[in-house]
Structure 1
Amino acid sequence: MAAAGRVRSEDQFLCSICLDVFTDPVTIPCGHNFCKSCISEHWRVNVPYQCPMCKEVFNLKPQLKINTIIKEMVAQFRHEAQHEPNISSSDQQAAKPGEVPCDVCTEPKLKALKSCLVCLTSYCRTHVDPHLTVPALKRHQLIHPVENLEDRMCRKHDKPLEVFCKTDHTCICHHCAYSDHKGHDVTPLKDEHEEQKPKLKKTEAEIKQMIQERRLKIQEIQRSVELSKNAADRETAEGVEVYTALMKSVQRGLDQLLEKIQEKQRSTEKQAEDFIKELEQEICELEKRSTEVKQLSGSEDHLHFVQRFTCVKAAPSMKTWTKVSVRPPSYEGTVERAVSELEKKLREDMKKKKMKKKVVKAELKRVQQYEVDLTLDPDTAHSDLILSDDGKHVHHGDKKKNLPDKPQRFSHCPSILAKQSFSSGRFYFEVQVKGKTKWDLGVVRESVNRKGQITCSPLYGYWTIRLRNGNEYEALADPRVRLSVQPGLQKVGVFVDYEEGLVSFYDVGSSVLIYSFIGCCFNDKLLPYFSPCLNDGGTNSAPLIITPVRH
C-alpha cells in the first residue's frame, strides 16, 4: 500500500524547473513551489522576477524562505521510497495483451509498474527497485507505464512533454515554453485535458447522429427498392396479360418488354446497392471513430488524449446524404411502346380499363353518401394508445398508462373501437393512414374477444385489412389474401352494407377498390375497428385519423 500511495503522490513533489524531487523547497508570493537553488538561478538569468509557472511578475525580488511543511513531506516521501517492501516476481502478473510489458524481463515479460522518462524504459516491480534506492537513479522521473516512450520526450531538449501550446496547437516541454514558444499561450497538459474532455462528448454525439442518419437512409433506400419492385411486378403482370391474349407471334415482343422492365429494376437495385455499400462503409468508419472516442473519453493519459483529440474531433470528409435517394423508375407507356404493332388492340384494352375505373369511381361516390360521423371510444382503447381530445386521432405511445381493466378494453393488441355501432342499413367512413408502416382497419362484431391474443378473421368476427412493413397489404380473410395496392396510399374508405353482407375497402385518393368481403353473415352489432400498431421506435409514430368525406 505504501508503494501505491507513493506512486500516486510522486508528481506533486517535483520541481517544475529541474523536474526532480524538491531540494530545499521554497514558496514564492504567487503560491508556486520550487527548489531554492532552481528559482534563484532562474531569476539570475531571467530578469525581471517572474514565476515560471503563472508568469506573474514581482517588482521586488521576493525573499525566499524554506517551506518547512513541504520539506517535511518530501523527506517523508524519500523515506517511504527507501523502505518500500520488496515484492517477489511470483506475486506479479505477466503482461496481458494491451498492457505495457517490462522491457528488462525475459519471457515471460511481467506487467510494467513504471516507465522512466530518462531511461525511456518500462519496468516491472522488481526491476524498478533501483530507481527507488540508487541515489543517481532516484533523480529520474517515473510515470505510469506507457508505450512509445520516445514519443513523450521533446526531441530538441530531451525533456518530457508536459505543456500544451495553444498558439501552435502542439505539446511541448518546459524548456520549449521558455525558448521557441516564449510569449505563446501555454498551459499544463492536465489543464488542457480537463478543458478538452467535455468537448469530446459533443463529438461523440455528433458521430452517433451521423451513424443514425445513415442507417435511416439505408432503410429509406431499401423501402424505395421494394416499392420499385412492386411497381415492376404490377407492370410485368399487365404486360403478360396483354401479350398472352394476342397472337403467339408477338412472344418475342413480350420478352423484350420484360427485359426492359427488369433492366430498369436492375438499374435501380444496382444504384441502391452502391449507395448502401457506400453508407455502410461510412458507418464502419464512424463506428471505428466512435470506438476511439469512447476509449479516449476514458483515458487519463493527458498526452495521448491531447495528441489524439484534434484528429478525433475533426469531422471526416463524407458525403451529405440528405438529398440522395433512389427513385423508382417510371413505367408509363412501356407496354404501349413494346406492342406498338398492336396499338389498336391495346387502345381498346386501355379504354376498357378507363371505363372500369370510371365505374369504380362512380361506385365510390355512391357509397360516400352513407358517411357517418365516428368518434373513438376511450373505454375500449389499449393502455398504450393515445387519443386526441376530439376522439379522431389515435397513435401508439410506447408507454403503458395505468387504466382500469374494463371488459370492453383491448388488453393485448393495440386496438380501439368507435363509440358508434350499427345493426342495419349502410355506413361509410374514411381513415387517413399517411406516413404509417403498419395498421389494421375494418369492422368487428360487438361480441368479439378483446383480451389476450386476437385472431383477426371473419370466423372470429373481424372483417379487416392490414398493412405491414410499409408495403405488404393483406385482407384477413380465410385464407388471407395478398392485396395489390398502388404506392402512396394515404386514405382508406370503408363501406358496409349490413343486409347485403358486404364490407368494401377503397383507396380514396385513386378511387380504386382495394378488396371486398362478400356474403358475410352479420348477426350482431358492428363497430368500426382501428389499430395503429406499435410505434417501432418512431418509424410508425403517425396516427390513424378519422377524416370527414370530401364529396
Structure 2
Amino acid sequence: MAFRQQVLSLTEEVICPICLDFFTDPVILECGHNFCRSCITQSWEKQEINSCPECRQEFPDRSLTENRALANLIEKARTLNLNPQEKESKHHCEEHQEELKLFCETDKKLICVICRDSREHREHRFIPVKEAVGFYKERVKSSLDSLTEKISAALEMEREQKQKISQIQEESSSLQTHIKSEFTKMHQMLTEKEQSLLRDLREQEENILKAMEQNLCEIQKNLNSLQQKLSNLEKPLEQTDGVIFLKEEASRKRRISDDDCVPSLTDGTISTETVCSLFPFLVWKEMQEATHPGKAQISSSFGLIYIV
C-alpha cells in the first residue's frame, strides 16, 4: 500500500496539469509551476494573457525556462511503466482499501462501495465517478465561460475608461495651451498699456513742473529784490545824524510801494481720471478686443466655455 502511494505521488509530479499526460519538454514559470512547452504556449495564445493556469499570476513577457531536473524525473517514471491515464483508477479508500468508484453528492466526496452501505452515507445520493467528473466538468466549463465573458467585459470597460482618461488629458492639455496663449497676449497688451500710461504721466509731469519751476524762478527773483530793498532800508536806520538822514531820504529815489508786482503761485494737477476710474474698465475692454475680437466658444468634456 505504501509503495502504491509513492507511485501515485511520483505520477502526480510528472503529469502536466493541462494535457494530463507526461510532461513533454517541461518548462518552469517564474511562479514555480511546470507545464509542457507546447501546452503553456497554446494556452497563452488562446487567452492572449501571459498568466499561469495554476495560480493565475501574470507575467510581462513569455519567458520559459527549461526544467531539466523534471525532464530527468519523467524519464525515470517512464521506466516504471506508469500510465498517467490510470492515475484516477488507482485511488483507493483509506479505510477499506477499495477503489473509489462512487461520488457522494450529499457529502461531495469520493467513496467506495463499502462506504456507500455504511450508516454514514445512508440515504445519500451517489453517482459513478466518471459520470460525476463529466457533470462537474460541465459546471466548471459553464463557470469558466461566464468568467471569461466577465473578464472580456471588464477588459472592454478598462479600454474605454483608459480612452476617456486619455481624452480628458488631451482636452486639458489643449485648454492649458489656449489659456497660456491668451494670457501671453494679455500680458503683452498690459505691458504696452503700462508703458503708454507711464509716458503720458511723464509728459504731464514735465509740462506741469516746467511752468512751476519758471514761476519759482520769478518768485526767487522777487524775493531777492525784496531782500535787497529791505537791506537798503535798514542802513538809513543806522544813521544817528538826523540832518544827514533827511538829506539822504530826500535824494532816495526808490520807495517801497504796495504797487510792487508780487508773483502768484502756479498750480498744477496730474490727471488721475484715466488711471483711477476709467483705467480698469478701459484696459479690460482693450484686453477683450485684443484677445477676442468676437465671441469664442471652446467645446470640451468640461462643458462649453464662452469667452466674450
Using structure 1 for the length normalisation, give the TM-score. Answer: 0.22
Which structure is richer in relative contact order (CA contacts within 8 A, separation 6 or more)?
2
- Which structure's CA Rg is the greater one? 2
TM-score normalised over the length of structure 2: 0.37
Q: Give the number of the structure whose residues are more often helix, by fraction.
A: 2
